[in-house]
């Protein structure tokens, strides 16, 4: 069992350097270069440009591997298009871009796990380390899979970890089945007929009026069409129509965008179908065209039971029974690690990151990754890899 982290200060410096120079999805060129340089310094074998800017490294154990045991550990690398207001010394130096989700910390913890497994390589099997680009809704997980992730690198089981400010430091959130929701982006365009808001409103087909009606109807879908024991969310998050300087101008169009989240696919299908019916009914009533586009960004992230058992065993052994958060519930956030869990059994784990100095949530402009949890992440990742290999070798 790996329990001691000797190079924590070096890893913190690396994490804060990544934080200072964030890059958006599929543009993580400098981030990938820094990770590759770290791997080269360690003498670790790796392949770059997987699914764009992704990297896959590996450490092969010195023990007998006649059962071809292998396991993958995944971390994401990309940042978000936000202006940082955290006030920390290592704040983003790239305007309009910041690590507001902790992917800088995830990549750092994965590097730490590599270093410790390389130094303690008397295991039987191969550990693959997947540095994924473009997690934030732009398809990095799919891109790596489409680039042959699981064919080029024979991974039998895969684990991922995400810092979770809603959990206190020292706690782990984990459950069988769905742990995070599916995530759709939808866009609606109402094509009305504009005109003078004072002279001839009766000659117009007001898209703002229709948008208001659509919003009201859409926001009743979940409360009246979805089983309350099957969580789902529909949120219209932005609307644009007309100009604030055109106080007497009815615009031709109104556009909206929003998201649908669901824990199970049946609930997601019901919400999607109901939103389409709402648009169709208003289109028919007002004799206009309403365009609805639904883009499925993420599947539900579904943990496999045996992998959850393995992860729980590692948490108990390394951190104690109290480290497991009791009665943990799924999150309505989404994660494209879900696509990897479709391809291979595995589990996704939430790592507590909240304390008195880290109170801002994920995707906040004031967020900063909690460096104190780096040892927790490294210890979990390294030991869950060893536990997975032991399980495969014993099977």
User: Per-residue pLDDT tens for 338-373?
Assistant: 999 999 999 999 999 999 999 999 999 999 999 999
Task: List, as residue ranges, the binding site for Mn(2+).
Answer: 101, 103, 136, 162, 363
Q: Which residue(s) pair with 205 in the sheet?
A: 193
- For residues 187-195, give the mean pLDDT: 98
> Helices 29-42 and 103-119: crossing angle, nearest 10°?
10
What does R_g of the chain's alpha carbons equal in angstroms?
A: 24
| DSSP helix/strand/coil, 379 | helix
Q: Could you give the C-alpha distances from 259 to 106, 170, 184, 214, 315, in angstroms and in order?
A: 26, 32, 5, 15, 34
Whether the predicted pLDDT of 2 surpasses 80: no
pLDDT of residue 66: 83
* Residues with Cβ within 8 Å of residue 122, at least 6 apart in sequence: 61, 62, 63
- Cα–Cα distance between 78 and 343 in angstroms, integer? 22
pLDDT of residue 137 exceeding 80: yes
Distance CA 358, CA 168 (A): 10
- pLDDT (0 to 100) of residue 92: 98
CB distance 71 to 386 below 8 Å: no
Give the annotated binding-site residues. Answer: 101, 103, 136, 162, 363
pLDDT range class, residue 3, cuts 50, 70, 90:
confident
Q: Cα–Cα–Cα angle for 17, 23, 28, nearest 5°?
A: 95
Q: What is the per-residue pLDDT across 255-303, written as a single tens digit (0 to 9) for each? A: 999 999 999 999 999 999 999 999 999 999 999 999 999 999 999 999 9
d(CA 39, CA 6): 17
Q: What is the pLDDT of residue 6?
A: 82
pLDDT at 192 over 90: yes
Residue 168 — pLDDT band, cuts 50, 70, 90? very high
The predicted structure's pLDDT at residue 1: 72
Mean pLDDT value of segment 188-201: 97
Q: Tell me the pLDDT tens digit for each residue of 43-58.
A: 999 999 999 999 999 9
Domains and CATH numbers, the chain: 8-180+301-394 (3.40.630.10), 182-298 (3.30.70.360)
Stretch 214-228: mean pLDDT, rounded? Answer: 96
Torsion of the alpha carbons at 382, 306, 136 and 130, rounded to the nearest 10: 40
């Amino acid at each position: 069992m790996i329990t001691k982290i000797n190079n924590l200060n070096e890893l913190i410096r690396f994490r804060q350097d990544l934080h200072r120079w964030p890059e958006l999805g599929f543009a993580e060129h400098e981030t990938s270069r820094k990770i590759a340089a770290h791997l080269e310094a360690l003498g670790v074998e790796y392949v770059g440009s997987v699914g764009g800017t992704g990297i896959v490294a590996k450490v092969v154990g010195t023990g007998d591997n006649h059962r071809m045991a292998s396991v993958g550990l995944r971390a994401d690398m990309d940042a978000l298009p936000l202006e940082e207001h955290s006030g920390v010394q290592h704040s983003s130096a790239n305007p309009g871009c910041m690590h507001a989700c902790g992917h800088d910390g995830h990549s750092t913890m994965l590097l730490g796990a590599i270093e410790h497994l390389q130094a303690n390589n008397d295991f039987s099997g191969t550990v693959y380390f997947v540095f994924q680009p473009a997690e934030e809704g732009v398809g990095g997980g799919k891109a790596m899979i489409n680039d042959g992730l699981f064919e080029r690198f024979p991974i039998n089981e895969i684990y991922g970890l995400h810092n979770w400010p809603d959990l206190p430091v020292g706690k782990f959130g984990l459950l069988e089945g769905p742990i995070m929701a599916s995530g759709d982006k939808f866009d609606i365009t109402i094509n009305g007929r504009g005109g003078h808001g004072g002279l001839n409103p009766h000659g117009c087909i007001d898209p703002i009026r229709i948008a208001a009606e659509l919003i009201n109807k859409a926001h009743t879908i979940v409360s009246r069409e979805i089983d309350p024991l099957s969580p789902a969310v529909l949120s219209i998050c932005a609307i644009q129509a007309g100009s604030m300087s055109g106080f007497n101008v009815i615009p031709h169009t109104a556009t909206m965008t929003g998201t649908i989240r669901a824990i199970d696919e049946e609930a997601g299908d019901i919400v999607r179908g109901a939103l389409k019916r709402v648009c169709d009914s208003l289109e028919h009533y007002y004799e206009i065209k309403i365009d609805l586009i639904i883009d499925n960004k993420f599947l539900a992230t579904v943990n496999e039971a045996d992998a959850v058992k393995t992860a729980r065993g590692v948490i108990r052994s390394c951190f104690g029974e109290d480290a497991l958060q009791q009665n943990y519930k799924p999150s309505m956030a989404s994660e494209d690690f879900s696509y990897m869990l479709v391809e291979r059994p595995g589990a996704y784990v939430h790592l507590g990151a909240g304390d008195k100095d880290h109170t801002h949530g994920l995707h906040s402009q004031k967020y900063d990754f909690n460096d104190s949890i780096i040892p927790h992440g490294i210890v979990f990742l390294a030991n869950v890899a060893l536990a997975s290999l032991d399980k495969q070798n014993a099977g």
